[in-house]
Homo-oligomer: A and B are copies of this chain.
Amino acid sequence: MLHFECDYTRGAHPGIIERLNETNLVSTPGYGEDEYCEAAREKIRAAIGKEDAAVYFLVGGTQTNAVVISHLLRPIEGVISADTGHINGHEGGAIEASGHKVIALPGENGKLSARAVRSYLEGYYADEAWPHIARPGMVYISFPTEYGTVYSKSELEELSAVCRDYKLPLFIDGARMGYGLAAEGGDVELSDIARLADVFYIGGTKVGALFGEAVVFPDPSLGRDFFTIAKQHGAVLAKGRLLGIQFDTLFTDGLYFKIAKNAVDRASELKAALREKGYRFYIDSPTNQVFVIMRNERLASLAEKAAVSRWEPFDTGHTVVRLCTDWATTKEEVRELIGLL
């Protein structure tokens, strides 16, 4: 059985398993105060070019979104997101459960434009009734987006500029950060993210780790008391070392970037083959998620040999299908899948 349904079907990069094994019986303090976490923080600070950034390690993406957002918003504030944003649709209402409205604006190919944000903010303050309305308090985007698309550097700069005009923190969900940085034709580097976002995270779960997301506050003062809000959300791992060991491994010798590139390269091979076979794409994605339109019969026959993700109906005879590669996908797996299509 081939697995292209998502990018979290396997364990971790073998180097991580090896480190977990080596360090298994070492005793350390809990809650992220160990030497492995400290080493990982240092490597991340170096990778983003911010020596004094505050770095915290949490377990998963939905959790991280809820903790970061409730950390930064006041009770009357909501978070602006593209309507397709993960926080708006796929997190069980976690943001609202912590008391905040997700202010969903129409996205374009999964992206939120600076223009849409500015227009919303202008309209908000132009309405005489604004004090009666949940206040926009931060802006959330994902990089890459839920549709595998990426912002260009100039798009991020424009978004960041709107946010700064209105003094709203810009939060970048980087659950698949590695794949976004490795995007075909992309021009964004991790240091750009750190320069333009007020807080972001570097996803491990989908990029080579067993689990783990590294939250970064380039200005550490914004991270004050983050430990306690994470604790309140049940998001502090007792054996925090497990996160340190994983991120230390991923940020040693650029492993994170290398394995992210593998996923994008495999996705490119897959798209080229699909294009050649005449498949239409639902959206043009330059990262590890491929959204292709498939006849329902084809999809049914495929199901026995390859797991894929049914995204949504396209028309009565076709379905939008998502195919994901990941840090471990091999050329051979891609070839086998192409053979079935």
Contact = CB atoms under 8 A, between A and B. Distances in A.
A17 B24 contact: yes
Interface string A56-71: 0001111111110011
A94 B132 contact: no
B94 A233 contact: yes
A305 interface: no
A62 B236 contact: yes
A220 interface: no
Given A25-B10, A29-B9, A78-B96, A236 B17 contact: no
Number of copies: 4
Interface in A28-53: 28-30
A272 interface: no
Interface stretch (A178-186, A188-196, A222-230, A259-267): A222-230
Interface in A181-239: 205-206, 210-211, 225, 227-229, 231-239
A339 interface: no
Interface residues on A, range: 35 or more
Given A21-B17, A229-B76, A60 B238 contact: yes
A265 B164 CA distance: 51
A107 interface: no
Contact of A231 (B94, B100, B234): B94
Interface stretch (A85-93, A154-162, A247-255, A296-304): A85-93
B211 A76 contact: no
Contacts of A227: 131
Contacts of A235: 63, 234
A236 B24 contact: no
Contact of A23 (B11, B75, B129): B11
B3 A27 contact: yes
A8 interface: yes
6 contacts: A9-B30, A63-B233, A66-B233, A76-B93, A76-B229, A90-B133
Interface of A: 1, 3, 5-6, 8-12, 14, 17, 20-21, 23-30, 59-67, 70-71, 74-78, 89-102, 128-129, 131-135, 205-206, 210-211, 225, 227-229, 231-239, 241-242, 307, 310, 328
